[in-house]
Every structure is written in C-alpha cells, then in structure tokens.
Structure 1
Amino acid sequence: MVCGGFTCSKNCLCALNLLYTLVSLLLIGIAAWGIGFGLISSFRVVGVAVAVGIFLFLIALVGLIGAVKHHQVLLFFYMIILLLVFIVQFSVSCACLALNKDQQHQLLEVGWNNTKSAREDIERNLNCCGFRNFNSSETCSAACVKVNQCGTCESIIEEYSGMVLRFVGGIGLFFSFTEILGVWLTYRYRNQKDSRANPSAFL
C-alpha cells in the first residue's frame, strides 16, 4: 500500500510511540544509573527524571494502544496531550537557546540556593566548594577540602552551562517537532478507514 494510506499511518504512529517508549525507559535508566554509581543523591532530581520518564511512557502506551486498535477516544486524548506537551517543550527549548550570560548566571545562582542535596553532588563531582565564595564553617563534600585548595563552583559551572543549555534546548526542539508530527499523524489516522474492515463501519 502506498505511503499515506491507513497501514502506513498506523505503522508510522506505532514507530513514533516505540521511540517515545525507548526514550522514557532511557530517562528512568539514567536516573537509576546515577543513583547506583553515587553520581546523584538528590531524590528531587531523581524523582523529576523518573516522573518525566513515567509520564512519557504512559503517553506512548496510550498512543500505541490507540494506533494498534484504531481506538478513536484514545487517539483523541493522545493527540490533545501531545499537543500540550509540544507547546510546553517548544517554549522551554526556545527559552534555553535564547538565554544570555547574565540570565544563565541568575538561573544558576537561584538553582544553587534552592537545591541543597544537588549542591553536594555538584561539589563532590566538580571538586569545588561554594558558588561565589566558600565559608569555612560550611560543610563541603569535595575532596579538595582535605588539602585546602578548593576553588568556587561558579566558574566551573558557567564554563559548561552554555553548552548544556544549547544541548538541552536542541534536543528539546528536535523532540518537539516529532511531537507535532505525532499530532498530525494521529489526526490523519483517526479520519482514515481500514480498507480491510467493513466499509460501512462507523469511525
């Protein structure tokens, strides 16, 4: 059957949802790997990664079941949810790509002040203490404390923050376009009839 027909739309939608399933499992796996190797001890960070992974997995499951069974209600809700996710993800991705140096600095400082457990992970992994300055009365989990030669984390984090924001923004932008493709495919697929089914069946 030519591409654009019922079978092609169904197969494309199934393939797209299998991709989302793999991405969701990858997110959950990375969070588990980070805990297992002691790279992440913040349950808030892990919780967010696992929650996003589970949410994406559930969306993909709804889309996959809807595509296989040509279920109109499931496909409708899948299309609406995917459209909302696209709007949010596209906005966040554009914001990540548009941030200038001053905005990045403010964002990093706010993040540093509001996440104590993640701060300990950063200090330990980057071998630095404090954001702008370090008070000797504060605790620091970096190895450099033992030799008293610790630098601040601000310069190290800012060195990589632009690259990380561009990477996150680019990946988010790419996946946002796959989501709008999914919305279009779902809309098209919902309005197609299976040529092998009863032609008088109501869709």
Structure 2
Amino acid sequence: MVCGGFACSKNCLCALNLLYTLVSLLLIGIAAWGIGFGLISSFRVVGVAIAVGIFLFFIALVGLIGAVKHHQVLLFFYMIILLLVFIVQFSVSCACLALNKEQQSQLLEVGWNNTNSARTDIERNLNCCGFRVFDPNETCSSDCFRTHQCQPCAPIIEEYSGMVLRFVGGIGLFFSFTEILGVWLTYRYRNQKDPRANPSAFL
C-alpha cells in the first residue's frame, strides 16, 4: 500500500529528521574525538566540522518540531532550507566524483600551501615530510625527520585522495537524495489536513 496518509507522511518526516539528528551528532562527535586524541590539531577544520554538525542539527530540529506540530511556517522554512542544502550538496558531491588525478593534485597542493596546522597533522600521521620534495632544512613533526629518511607526502596523499573523494562524493550524493525526499515529503505533508483537527479549520 502506498504511503499517502497524514500519519504516514508525518512518521516518515519524523524518521528522516531523526536520521539527520543522528548524523549531526555523529559529525560533532567525530570532530571532538579527532581533536581529543590529537589526530587533528587544526581548530579551523574542527570548527567547520562542528559548525556543519550544529547547522544540520538545528535544521533537523526545525523539521522535527514542524512535523510533530504540523506547523505550516516551520515546515515552509524547513523545506526552503533543505532545498538550498540539496542544491549545494548535490553540486559538491558531483564535483568530488568528477575530479580527475591532475585536478586532485592541484587542489591538494593548494590546500597544503594554505594550511600550516593541517600540514603538521598530515606529516605526523602519515610519517612524511614536505609535499613534493623532502627538504631536511625545513622543520617537520614526523618521526622519520630525526633520521632524515622521509619521503614526500604527495604520493601518499594522492594514493588515498581518489578513494576518499569517491567515498565523500558517494555519501554526499546519497544524502542529497534523502534531502530531496524530505522536500517532497514536507511539501505533501503541508497540504494534508490533520484528520483529528476541526474539519472547518483552515490548514
């Protein structure tokens, strides 16, 4: 039987927003875990991850309250914000999946040159020094620097960058389709009447 009733739409929308809430808490938890165990020392990276998690949490909260109360204004703003997030996320996911090796390499080099703290984390965790060439005269936080037998980080990063981009792009693409599903559910749910409400009331 097709889910077309008021209660079914409400339950589906609530379940979708509970999923978004769990994802947002997971994102905040992973960022906190990374900085707590010393895997990430860049407060900019952690700050962005936590900000995205908090933003997603508030969107899910607005959607959840709107679904439970059948609140027209909250559901409208939730639908608009979710549609904008879908457009941005779908575009970024497609860009991640479409990048070739040369473009990945250029982006990695730009990121390497513009983030000192992330560079330190990469050198320490991957046990490498420098991006393209190892220079023993430069400072490096990896263990191999003591013996001056380090390899550059670019080949190690590029080995995993394609896999990471495909993973991130695939996950982003999956969640972008759940967002367009949420927009469709919200639009339909807003136009349905609560069978328990006064039949003469305007909804």
Q: TM-score, normalised by structure 2?
A: 0.98
The one-letter code sitting in structure 2 at the alignment partner of 1:87 is: I
Distance 2:80 2:138 in 1: 49
2:25 maps to what in 1?
25
Distance 2:132 2:2 in 1: 61
**1:176 maps to 2:168:** no
Distance 1:136 1:145 in 2: 8
Structure 1 spans left out of the alignment, 5+ residues: none
How many residue pairs get aligned? The number is: 203
2:69 maps to what in 1?
69
2:140 maps to what in 1?
140
1:9-158 equivalences under 5 Å are 9-158=9-158
SS at match of 1:184: helix
Distance 1:139 1:4 in 2: 63
The one-letter code sitting in structure 1 at the alignment partner of 2:129 is: C
Runs of 4+ with >2 A deviation: 134-137
The one-letter code sitting in structure 2 at the alignment partner of 1:89 is: Q
Q: Is the 8 A contact 2:136 2:148 kept in 1?
A: no
Q: Is the 8 A contact 1:2 1:8 kept in 2?
A: no
1:72-123 CA-to-partner distances (Å, cap 9, x unmatched) read: 0000000000000000000000000000010000010001111110000000
Distance 2:91 2:153 in 1: 29
- Superposed displacement of residue 2, structure 1: 6.8
Q: TM-score, normalised by structure 1?
A: 0.98
RMSD value over aligned CA atoms? 1.0
Distance 2:192 2:172 in 1: 30
1:143-194 CA-to-partner distances (Å, cap 9, x unmatched) read: 0011221000000000000000000000000000000000000000000001
